[in-house]
A = this chain, B = another copy of it.
Amino acid sequence: MNDMKTYIETLGQKAKAAAPAGAALATDTKNNALAAMAKALRTEKASLLGENAKDMAAGKAKGLTGAVLDRLLLTEERIEGMAAGLEALIELNDPIGETIAQWVRPNGLEIARKRVPLGVIAIIYEARPNVTADAAGLALKTGNALILKGGSEAYYSNLAITTVLRDTLKKQGLDENLLQFVESVDREAVSILLKMKDYIDVVIPRGGSGLIRFVVENALIPSIETGTGNCHIYMDQYGEIPMGIDIVFNAKTQRPAVCNAAETLLVHKDIAADFLPPLAEKLRSKQVEIRGCKRTCSLLKTAVPATEADWETEFLDYILAVKIVDCFDDAVAHIARYSSGHSEAIITESYSRSRRFTQAVDAAAVYVNASTRFTDGNEFGFGAEIGISTQKLHARGPMGLNALTTEKYVIYGTGQVRK
């Protein structure tokens, strides 16, 4: 425990020491390093696959599920994907150094708001080793020092990837401590990391709700909550039925395991009888289970009765909760009660309802007549995504490079003193 504390503190000190140089890196230098990192991943493909095989063997021995093993697996194609992801960052604008605003005060002081790196970022994540390269690239492009703590299942894969990337930083003449990896699978390491306010500016958990809750409850460092999406679609009585069917089908089935997939459908009572049967038939093509309120179950013989827990659950599966509501306000109230503040949609041709919905619903992304599946950095046109924030402070919704920056006021004077 004491050894662990010393170890983690040393990582923090090294990161804090590396941060100022990271903040001062020119865009060309960062882009050259990103290109070199991509190249190194390709060159070291064989050894990365070898280290990943250790994780896969241990995972199978431990009895990890097929889904977890799939997330853990590295292939030539996936390594190429990581390299291409690093290269894609080169094309993005470097946000650091931007003057967001600049103005002159009556006393002649000139005040500039400038965009600067956050400083030291810690990212705590679960099984997917591709997050390692992804996070390293995002942190480098934004001039931040990064400490990574990956899941124990992917330990050897993550260690191998960070070793390749650190070596590349060094060869490029940069401080390799801009990227550090916690070489421990002990959960104690996370608890210690979360308290290191003196060295770390922000912690971002990337993973399931258990991890996120643990971070929020234990961190003394400011954190950015990402991920949980209990997303709703409200089919208004003024919605177009074919459009509603397409959107619900897409939002539920196009990729059900992700946070922007729809989990609950609310339907206005006046359109339910016309809307639900053809929708249910389309959903049957993907074996979607419908868990319905009483009225839904009497309309759809294939529906099973929903429990209170179903309204609260992010199924991440081929399951859709369906509730018939008496009016628009009941739909909004249901969303206010159960929404995780991620993505919410209305299907309507009513101008007034579309405006009332987007104003009344409190979520990161509120849609009119489109699938919730678009809540995504690439779909929004950000080029890169750190995650999707479901909190209201600092960043909300898909986080692009700017979410890894803060501001600094630079004030140019000529001897001004306060009167």
Task: Name A's B-contacting residues (CB within 8 A).
Answer: 19-20, 23-24, 103, 105, 109, 111, 116, 118-119, 197, 201-202, 216-217, 220, 222, 224, 240, 243, 246-247, 249-251, 254-255, 336, 354, 358-360, 362-371, 373-375, 379-381, 391-394, 396-397, 406-418
A396 partner residues in chain B, CB cutoff 8 A: 406-409
Q: Is the pair B407, A374 in contact by a Cβ cutoff of 8 Å?
A: no
Q: Is the pair A417, B359 in contact by a Cβ cutoff of 8 Å?
A: no
A1 to B349, CA, bound (A): 51
Q: Is the pair A415, B365 in contact by a Cβ cutoff of 8 Å?
A: no
A19 partner residues in chain B, CB cutoff 8 A: 362
Q: Is the pair A360, B409 in contact by a Cβ cutoff of 8 Å?
A: no
A119 to B369, CA, bound (A): 26
Chain B nearest CB, measured from A268 CB (Å): 18
Q: Is the pair B392, A118 in contact by a Cβ cutoff of 8 Å?
A: yes
- What 5 A-B pairs are tightest by C-beta distance, nearest first? A370-B413, A250-B417, A373-B418, A392-B406, A394-B394
A418 partner residues in chain B, CB cutoff 8 A: 250, 254-255, 371, 373-374, 379
A354 partner residues in chain B, CB cutoff 8 A: 412
A29 to B164, CA, bound (A): 60
A23 partner residues in chain B, CB cutoff 8 A: 359, 362
Interface centre among A201, A255, A391, A406 (most CB of B within 10 A): A406
Chain B nearest CB, measured from A212 CB (Å): 12
A407 partner residues in chain B, CB cutoff 8 A: 396-397
Q: How many copies does the complex hold?
A: 2
- B249, B393, B412: which contacts A222 (Cβ < 8 A)? B393
Chain B nearest CB, measured from A223 CB (Å): 8
- B224, B367, B392: which contacts A413 (Cβ < 8 A)? B367
Task: Report 15 cross-chain contacts, Cβ distance below 8 Å, ordered by A residue.
Answer: A20-B336, A103-B381, A105-B379, A222-B392, A222-B393, A243-B415, A247-B415, A247-B417, A254-B418, A358-B410, A364-B409, A365-B411, A369-B412, A380-B409, A394-B394
A381 to B362, CA, bound (A): 31
Q: Is the pair A415, B111 in contact by a Cβ cutoff of 8 Å?
A: no
A406 partner residues in chain B, CB cutoff 8 A: 392-393, 396
A409 to B103, CA, bound (A): 28
Interface centre among A201, A364, A367 (most CB of B within 10 A): A367
CB-nearest residue of chain B relative to A380?
B111
A360 partner residues in chain B, CB cutoff 8 A: 20, 24
A116 partner residues in chain B, CB cutoff 8 A: 362
Q: Is the pair A119, B392 in contact by a Cβ cutoff of 8 Å?
A: yes
Chain B nearest CB, measured from A22 CB (Å): 11
- B20, B224, B336: which contacts A362 (Cβ < 8 A)? B20
* Contacts A370-B415, A394-B394 known; 20 new A-B pairs at CB < 8 A: A105-B380, A105-B381, A217-B220, A246-B415, A255-B418, A365-B409, A367-B411, A369-B414, A370-B411, A370-B412, A371-B416, A373-B417, A373-B418, A374-B411, A375-B409, A392-B406, A393-B393, A393-B406, A396-B406, A396-B408
